[in-house]
Amino acid sequence: MSGTILVLNGPNLNLLGEREPQIYGHDTLADVEAMCRAEVAGTDYTIDFRQTNAEHEAVDWIQQARKGYAGIVFNPAAFTYAAYPILDALKMVDCPVVEVHITNIHRREAEWRSHSIMTQVVTGIISGLGVNGYPLAVRHCLWLGGRGR
């Protein structure tokens, strides 16, 4: 099997490693990208790694990946809670979608942070494993691809 896995990151993740490192750690988004690319090394899969602070851009990228991609790994960040256009775009996706959160959103300080609207349409969720959740999500997409979904 072969294909492309979209790794999509939401708002403020461009500042990963700088923004609240006591919560999100010291790894940068470039480190996360390297981890994801290492996961597909030696396979026929590629990583399409993106980050946006703009909801409309995330919708466009999800729509582009909805057919023909092997999977989507998505850290919606602040889009998690109220980005209904993104939720609607995810409903149209044919490939597996793994929602990733660096922190355990169910243990966050504010009640509203523990409820993801995306969870209702994704294949699975990885939450609280730090940036290690990303390569695990990529691995899951690879596993599904090898099994023919």
Domain boundaries, the chain: 3-146
Domain 3-146 has CATH 3.40.50.9100: yes
* Residue tagged active-site, from 69, 101, 134, 140: 101
Catalytic residue of the set 24, 45, 69, 134: 24
Identify the CA nearest to 78 among candidates 144, 12, 5, 23. 12
| DSSP annotation of 122 | S
Pair 73, 134: CB distance under 8 Å:
yes
So what's the pLDDT on residue 2?
Answer: 80
Residue 101 known to be catalytic: yes
To which residue do tokens 């939720």 refer? 87
Q: Is-catalytic flag, 81?
A: no
> Distance from CA of residue 82 to its chain's centroid?
16
pLDDT tens readout for residues 42-95: 999 999 999 999 999 999 999 999 999 999 999 999 999 999 999 999 999 999
Q: pTM of the entire structure? A: 0.93
Q: Among 116, 120, 123, 55, which Cα is nearest to 95's?
A: 123
Stated as kind and residue range, the H or E segment containing 6 is: strand 3-9
